[in-house]
Copies of this chain bind each other. A is one copy, B any other.
Amino acid sequence: MDLEHLLADLAQGRTAALARAISIVENGRPGFEQLLGAVHPRLGRARRVGMTGPPGAGKSSLARLLVEAWRADGCTVAVVALDPSSPFSGGALLGDRIRMEAIALDPGVYIRSMATRGTLGGLATSTREVCDVLDAGGFDRILIETVGVGQSELAVTGMADSTVLVLVPESGDGIQTLKSGVMEAVDIFAVNKADRPGADTMAREVEITLGLRHRNGVSGSPSFPGWEPPVLLTAAVKGEGIDALVAALDRHFSWLEASGELATRRRVRLAARTREVVDRAMNRWVWQETGADEVLQNRIDDVAAGRVSPYHLAQEIVSGLKEGSRA
């Protein structure tokens, strides 16, 4: 890989270079860590917004309107879709696809859907890395769309500067979800399909849950004093509430900068990233460069027969690795 060349093309915003760099990073091809290392000093320009919520909440429609609003403000936008059923990923009803085409043809918009195979942990890591490439590629906004059921809702918060949770009046399990630790990680709530019955009730329930936490001695957001997560009503199909969402995101970003929280979040993300890269390298080392895999293969019959437990065998392998390290 001619890294210098690719980086120069990327800096000039060439789409082919962008696609190539992303594919190198997403697939972990040789040189991908060098590439990411080289773009590192340039990062931090893009605002990263995560959008999550249960299937059918209308995230994609809301996302599309958000992209259009940002474009109208003169921002370039990259969309990273982690939801395989998202119209951004090509998996959608015909009507959605047609509406999506208008923005897909806009040269100021770049859409990338990520393969969602493998573990969520691995996916989170490579998504963050793809976002770095997009940041280095000069996009003003990066929108990360995930389908959220419990743990995946939490995963997006580690990728974005601002996290929007999209709910619908029918989200019977909405409050349920919030209780299980998601709420603390959300910066803005959007109750979508707000023209349906129950939207106000839903919004109030979220506000009450937020308020209860206040009264329990936390001011501002549960996790971030000074920021009160707004609960917005949106109706993506009618295009309602988008201006308020854009404004809330701007307000949140200003708060992130002013409070020092932006620097903190990015620092935490970078430390986590470094840990992930170390773990990935150690994993590669253990299974590809030491004799660990051979030991495993030689002894697996004993494990299958119940003579040795996986824990015993693992301890044997680990002792071998550590002993090498102490010798």
Contacts and interface: CB of A to CB of B under 8 A. Distances in A.
Interface of A: 33-34, 36-38, 40-44, 54-55, 84-85, 91, 93, 116-124, 147, 149-152, 154-155, 172-173, 176-177, 180-181, 263, 266-267, 270-271, 273-275, 277-279, 281-283, 285-287, 292, 296-297, 300, 303-304, 306-307, 309-315, 317-318, 321-322, 324-327
A117 B151 contact: yes
A128 to B, nearest CB: 10
A285 to B, nearest CB: 6
Contacts of A122: 121
Contact of A266 (B37, B277, B296, B304): B304
B286 A271 contact: no
A300 B270 contact: yes
B277 A311 contact: yes
B36 A311 contact: yes
Nearest to A39: B309
A45 to B, nearest CB: 11
Identical chains bound together, number: 2
A304 B264 CA distance: 9
A166 to B, nearest CB: 15
A306 B43 contact: yes
Nearest to A172: B93
Task: Identify the 9 closest CB pairs spanning chains A and B, nearest first.
Answer: A40-B309, A277-B314, A37-B309, A37-B311, A325-B325, A41-B306, A120-B120, A119-B121, A274-B310
A12 to B, nearest CB: 20
Contacts of A173: 84-85, 91
A121 B309 CA distance: 21
Nearest to A274: B310
B271 A296 contact: yes
A315 B40 CA distance: 15
Contacts of A278: 286, 292, 314, 317-318
A242 to B, nearest CB: 26
Given A43-B306, A326-B324, A318 B282 contact: yes
A324 B321 CA distance: 11
A281 B318 CA distance: 7
B84 A34 contact: no
Nearest to A181: B117
A313 B84 CA distance: 34
A27 to B, nearest CB: 16
A76 B116 CA distance: 36
Given A37-B312, A117-B150, A274-B314, 19 more contacts: A36-B310, A40-B303, A42-B306, A84-B176, A85-B176, A116-B150, A116-B151, A117-B154, A119-B120, A119-B121, A121-B122, A266-B304, A270-B304, A274-B310, A277-B314, A278-B318, A281-B315, A282-B282, A325-B325
A97 to B, nearest CB: 13
A63 B48 CA distance: 40
A2 to B, nearest CB: 19
A310 B54 contact: no
A81 B180 CA distance: 15
